[in-house]
Amino acid sequence: MRIRIKDIKEKDIDKIINVKGWVRSIRNSKEFSFIVLNDGSNLAGLQIVVDQNTKDYPKIIEKISTGCSLSITGKLVKSPGKEQAFELKAESIEILGECDAESYPLQKKKHTFEFLRTIAHLRPRTNTFGAIARTRNALAYATHKFFQENGFLYLNSPIITASDCEGAGQMFRVTTLDLEKLPKDKNGKINFEQDFFGKSTFLTVSGQLEGETYACALSDIYTFGPSFRAENSNTSRHLAEFWMIEPEMAFADLKDDMNCAENYLKYCLKYVLENCQEDMNFFDKFIQKGTIEKLQHILNNPFERLDYTKAIDILKNASKNFEYSVEWGSDLQSEHERYLAEEYFKKPVILINYPQEIKSFYMKQNNDNKTVAAMDVLIAGVGEIIGGSQREDNLDLLVKRMDELNLPKENYWWYLDLRKYGSVPHAGFGLGFERLVLFVTGMENIRDVIPFPRYPGHAEF
Ligand code: ATP
Ligand code: MN
């Protein structure tokens, strides 16, 4: 019976076990060889000793090179080396798949992340990308655990939608129309009534609006699914396809929203510190020094909560030279967000009460008639990791705002119904999952924390 390498324990010493995996490295000397075998279940893999006691030795060694897949049966012993606790004395080796040493791109030397992006199908076989995959998985598990433990219901919101949640127009069109022969209406415009859904449809930018409908029936829900944004921004924090977690709570205001965001983030950080120690040590040592301390520091301190207006004062008085200047009413750039979290407060900051003009139509209007009950959570290295708000639950105010923005109310009839039939205060937020993985691992580019990144000009694999 095959055992996963991470499951090998002290009690298995002196037992005959079988492991399967890929060769990370092989070192040959006159009388024996060392193979490091990795099956992805942990970072370190298992050291295998191949010698006279191994069937077909030394012939078998000639066919084994980095990247080969092997099934090895042998006796587990205490390792004399300091690097590992155990090693396996191979009794028999079966080569499952040979690997051409000439052309295999993952040789022992260090590769750049840019290069590894061009072989995204093989990069999970490197230490870094294996560790990222395991940590990403742990964060997804922690997400479900947190919301389930707190009574939230997991909701699957639609991927194809006819409404533009953010009103930002950065959407990918979904169509089955023949692009060579587009049907036109009498005004010469494309006739989408003939399209698959009988209207214009897109890939969703957010499941929030649908999430609100379920929150206004089941109280607390969360979504965790893909979002798509056709933003032509080649940054290290934007993807065209990313995963978003969107909780929505009924009977909740902005304060409840902030508390939920802070508790959720802290829960995730605590979870990886406790459950991904080997990988976290790796990130701390090789990716970003101090990553573990960075996470611990966040766990041990309350987030700073601050009005947008106060943040503008701080930014205007900062001695730092920003590329973009700020005035009350301007949208903060990533450099401003990072300054607040990294340098000024040195901890996560929740900015609230943004000017209405720079936020979405559905946010609850404050009594000052200028700001809305929005909140963004800003963290070091990343900037905005969460965007959320209390939602406008007053029908008249919502309709007035939609009219001001010339939004087609007929497309949102169902959304407006929520304010007609038993409206309740409610609030929620969206967290970009890759930004969380980016922060936790200390990686620099968001394209390296999703298995197959999609960004302008890139949809390979
Ligand atoms: P930004 O200003 O950084 O573009 P946003 O204001 O457009 O973010 P929201 O619409 O509030 O973001 O979306 C909620 C969250 O989704 C953000 O806080 C961020 O974590 C994440 N997010 C948004 N756009 C992207 C993207 N293109 N790639 C990855 N994550 C994203
Ligand atoms: Mn954006």
Nearest CA, atom 31, ligand 1: 432
pLDDT at residue 340 in the model? 97
Cα separations in angstroms, 240 against 112, 243, 447:
23, 10, 10
Nearest CA, atom 25, ligand 1: 238
- pLDDT band at 81, cuts 50/70/90? confident
Kindly report, residue by residue over 259-268, the tens digit of the pLDDT.
999 999 999 9
Probe residue for ligand 1, chosen from 206, 242, 434 as the CB with the greatest number of ligand atoms within 8 Å:
242
Kindly report, residue by residue over 22-70, the tens digit of the pLDDT.
999 999 999 999 999 999 999 999 999 999 999 999 999 999 999 999 9
Nearest CA, atom 1, ligand 1: 384
Kindly report, residue by residue over 141-183, the tens digit of the pLDDT.
999 999 999 999 999 999 999 876 666 668 999 999 999 999 9
Q: In what order do the strands lie in the sheet with 241-250?
A: 153-154, 220-228, 241-250, 426-432, 383-390, 371-379, 349-355, 304-307
Give every CB contact of residue 181 below 8 A, 6+ residues apart in sequence. none
Q: How far is the CA of 171 from the centre of ligand 1 (A)?
A: 14
Residue of 355, 426, 151 lying closest to 415 (CA atoms): 426
Nearest CA, atom 30, ligand 1: 432
Kindly report, residue by residue over 128-152, the tens digit of the pLDDT.
999 999 999 999 999 999 999 999 9
pLDDT at residue 163 in the model? 75
Chain CA centroid to CA 103, Å: 32
pLDDT at residue 164 in the model? 63
Probe residue for ligand 1, chosen from 244, 336, 360, 382 as the CB with the greatest number of ligand atoms within 8 Å:
244
Identity at 417, one-letter amino acid code: D
Kindly report, residue by residue over 210-262, the tens digit of the pLDDT.
999 999 999 999 999 999 999 877 899 999 999 999 999 999 999 999 999 99
pLDDT at residue 411 in the model? 87
Probe residue for ligand 1, chosen from 224, 238, 243, 455 as the CB with the greatest number of ligand atoms within 8 Å:
238
Question: Mapping DSSP to helix (H, G, I), strand (E, B) and coil, where does residue 392 land?
Answer: coil
Buried b (16+ CB within 10 A) or exposed e, 65-97: bbbbbbebbbbbeeeeeeeeebbbbbeebeeee
Residues flanking ligand 1, CB < 6 Å: 166, 229, 231, 238-239, 242, 244, 384-387, 430-432, 434-435
pLDDT at residue 170 in the model? 87
pLDDT at residue 273 in the model? 98
- pLDDT band at 76, cuts 50/70/90? very high
Model pTM score: 0.97
